[in-house]
Amino acid sequence: MRMKQFLTISSGLLTVVCGHLNDNPAQIVIAGGAIIPETTDPIESWLNMEIPYAFDGVLNNIGPDGAKATGAGSGIVIASPSHSNPDYYYTWTRDAALTIKYLVESLASDDDPGLRRIIERYITSQAHLQTISNPSGSLSSGGLGEPKLRADGSAFHGPWGRPQRDGPALRATALIAYANLLIDHGKSSTAYSTVWPIIQNDLSYVTEFWNATTFDLWEEVRGSSFFTTAVQYQALVQGASLAQKLGDSCPHCQTQAPQILCFLQTFWTGSSILANFGSDRSGKDANSLLGTIHTFDPNAGCDEHTFQPCSSRALANHKVVVDSFRSLYPINSDISPGQAVAIGRYPEDVYQGGHPWYLCTLAAAEQLYDALYQWELMGNLSISDMSLVFFRDLYPSTATGTYSRGTDTFAAVTAAVKVYADGFLRIIQKYTPSTGALAEQFSRSDGSPLSALDLTWSYAALLTAHRARERALVLNPTTTSPPRSPSSTIPPPLPRTCTPSSAKGPYVPVTNVTWPRPTCLTPPRTVAVRFNVLASTVFGEDILLVGSIPELGEWDVRNQGLKLNANAYSGVTPLWYRTVMLQSGVDFEFKFVRVNRDGEVRWEEGLNRESVVPRECGVVNATINAVWRS
């Protein structure tokens, strides 16, 4: 008896979504509601193609349906499909949380049922991962600080830099964002009963261990990290705000947050941010750029204590970090101050040869877009003695002072910052291969991709930088409200002296995560079905899809077979894919077909594949994952 293969909700929804046009023929709407205008500007044209690819790259790396996440558990975000040199086929708490935070923000812009399902699967998986005992401990004894777990959700017992205390804070922040979204949609009870208990465990970890030794986000330095401290503070402030909305409390959040903020000030050297205590390196590190953008609060203005992107501290530090790479890499040679360059992790880096990273270069751009947004929102920008060195690289006649929107100086300076920020994107454009695939690094010598392929964080970094750019460039302060920021409550006062402290618990395992079933009058009439097949090919070969129903060519492979897309193909994951709109509830048979350059047709072996298009409320996307049968 042949079993029918039932479809599951897709993690590859973008292929269809990005083809949707709104009422303006010069605009393309992608998942999350982002609008990409058609333009002749090379950077805009590139973004029109690359942003959908990057979104798809993220979804491909999320189990169980992601085309490149074969074997990953439901809701598990893998760092990369790479299994060797380096082996990144694991889930990092930090990387996954930053990725899901972007998806939550996308969902807030466009309430896509498939995207909501992916996020809820992630949350369910995290409740389980919190209970997994690992080398860092159990739920109540430090286990939440374990940096990574296996893709199937089991513990990793190999040697590693552990614990890493940024993960729980970032996961809490991602889940807080989703809880706030649920509240906005009248689902406070789900936020309280389902999401809040998972958040509480992570907040408990932060309040207990924020003052304990940690490995930095690069998992190399054991000591104290600016990035970790910054995101820990953000998590507690946002956690306290969410607790209040839910009619609960987080007393340890309110007592520990001021002390974390006090400790955060010690990373400021007077001219830049010291990335880590406990290291003999210079302290110039993209850690600080990432800490600034991932604690961005649009309603905090240019606050110095929280190192907001437009603060004098953050801008002075931006110059110091960027300049540390100007003469380091051959691909940066002959680039003048005030122009963008490729950015690595830190100047002393030797990992994989010590090269620029896509996500670090994108962080330099994103900070500047965030700053532009803040200045427009406030209606002015201030240049201090501290930040003057940053501004003079971009606009040499700049002087200290406060300049209001509408003045020539405000217009000139913000235009120069925008050009500078775009310059970092142009670096990424220059060194992104024609396929659009983003690895972890690119060569310091010629810009070719290096290290782990299809790095989830690289894709997420491009997406968040693009969103920051879009937000900064379209803001009309008279008509546009700032994005909701759960951290924009009144921050706790900065203590006069820092007091090392800790507050334990509570920790409660969350073992039964349930989500309300979607309700609708009628199920969707059509479903976007994505077909993924791993099929190694040689140059000139194509993979086609053909099947028993009209949408799949009714077995007429030569005249109506559907050619699959290979722009995500690599030696690690030889992926061919295509999304087809099918009638919900339809039974069908299908097969994949190989066609060589001479037109010779070769069908995959075995019986016809069978499937059924789902017909359920809220299910508008589905996926079939397959491997070529030979």
How much is the pLDDT for 5? 44
| Residue with more model confidence, 412 or 2 | 412
Residue 313 to residue 272: CA distance in whole angstroms: 7
Query: Are 223 and 274 contacting, i.e. CB atoms less than 8 angstroms apart?
Result: no
Helix segments in 61-135, DSSP class H? 93-109, 113-129
14: confidence class by pLDDT, cuts 50, 70, 90: very low
Q: Which fold does the domain 526-627 belong to in CATH?
A: Immunoglobulin-like (2.60.40)
Give the active site residues. Answer: 216, 219
CA atoms of 259 and 499, how far apart (whole Å)? 6
Q: Is the pLDDT of residue 15 over 80?
A: no
Secondary structure of residue 63 in the 3-state scheme: coil
182 versus 490: the higher-pLDDT residue is 182
Position 114 scores a pLDDT of 87
What are the pLDDT digits (tens) for 111-129?
A: 788 899 999 999 999 999 9
* 191: its two tokens: 């936020």
Q: Which CATH class is domain 43-475?
A: mainly alpha
Q: CA 353 → CA 98, 331, 448, 545, distances in Å?
A: 26, 15, 13, 42
Tokens of 394: 């971009």
pLDDT score recorded for residue 270: 95
Judged by DSSP in three states, 567 sits in coil
Tens digits of per-residue pLDDT, 441-476? 999 999 999 999 999 999 999 999 999 999 998 866
Domain spans, the chain: 43-475, 526-627
pTM, two decimal places: 0.90
> Contact, 566 vs 587, CB < 8 A?
no
Report, as an integer, the average pLDDT of 327-345: 94
Residue set of the binding site for substrate: 160
Helix (H), strand (E) at residue 409: helix 408-430
- Comparing 183-187, 374-378, 406-410, 491-495, the range with the smallest average pLDDT is 491-495
Longest Cα pair distance anywhere in the chain, in angstroms? 80
What average pLDDT does the segment 566-577 reach? 92
Confirm if 445 and 332 have CB atoms less than 8 A apart: no
Beta bridge partners of 601: 595
Element (H, E) at 545: strand 542-547
Distances (CA, A) of 242 to 173, 185, 210, 294, 317: 10, 15, 20, 18, 31
Helix (H) or strand (E) holding 206: helix 196-209
pLDDT for residue 170: 98
Q: With bands split at pLDDT 50, 70 and 90, how would you rate the model's confidence at 11?
A: very low
Q: What is the pLDDT of residue 28?
A: 46
In this predicted structure, what is the pLDDT of residue 493? Answer: 72
Burial (0-12, 13-18, 19+ Cβ within 10 Å), 392: middle
The predicted structure's pLDDT at residue 518: 76
- What pLDDT is attached to residue 384? 97
Q: Are 225 and 545 in contact (CB under 8 A)?
A: no
CB-CB contact of 95 with 77 (8 Å): yes
| pLDDT(21) > 60 | no
Which positions make up the binding site?
160
- Equal CATH topology for 43-475 and 526-627: no
What is residue 542's predicted lDDT score, i.e. its pLDDT? 96
pLDDT, residue 17, reads 34
SS3 state at 372: helix
For the chain, give the mean pLDDT.
90
